[in-house]
Amino acid sequence: MNDSLDPRINRLKLNKTDDPCKVEEGENWNVFEVFHQEKRGAHHEHVGCVHAPDAGLALVFAKEQFGRRKKCVNLWVVRSADILAFDVEDEDMFANNLEKTYRDASGFKVMEKINKFKAQAKPANDK
Partner 1 sequence: MYGGGYIFEEPNRVQQREEQLHDDPEKLAAFEMRIANGEKIEPGDWMPAEYRRQLIRLIEQHAHSEVIGALPEGTWITRAPGFKRKLALIAKVQDEIGHGQLLYNAAETLGKSREAMINDLLSGKSKYSNVFNYPAETWADVTVIGFLIDAAAIVNQVANAKGSYGPYCRALERICYEESFHLKQGHDAFIELATGTPGQKAMLQDALNRWWQPIMHFFGPPDKVSGHSEKLMQWKVKMASNDDMRNQFLEAYVPKIRELGLTLPDPLLNKNEETGRWEYSDPDWDLFFEVIKGNGPCNKERLDVRKWAEEHGRWIRKALMKEGTFEKKAMPVA
Please report, as ranges, the residues that interact with partner 1 according to CB under 8 A.
2, 4-6, 8-9, 12, 14-15, 20-31, 33, 46, 48-51, 53-54, 57, 64-65, 68-69, 79-83, 85, 87-89
3-state secondary structure 30-93: EEEEEEEECCCCCCEEEEEEEEECCHHHHHHHHHHHHCCCCCCCEEEEEEHHHCCCCCHHHHHH
Residue 12 or 121 having the CB closest to partner 1: 12
Q: CA-CA distance, 73 to 40, in Å (whole number)?
A: 7
- Least separation in angstroms between residue 43's CB and partner 1 is 16
CB of 100 to partner 1, least distance (A): 24
User: Cβ closer to partner 1: 22 or 40?
Assistant: 22
Minimal distance, residue 18 CB to partner 1, in Å: 10
Q: Which is nearer to partner 1, 31 or 114 (CB)?
A: 31
How far is the CA of 49 from the CAs of 76, 94, 117, in angstroms? 11, 27, 59
Question: Are 59 and 75 spatial neighbours (Cβ–Cβ below 8 Å)?
Answer: yes
- Nearer to partner 1 among residue 49 and residue 75 (C-beta): 49
Shortest distance (Å) from residue 41 CB to partner 1:
23
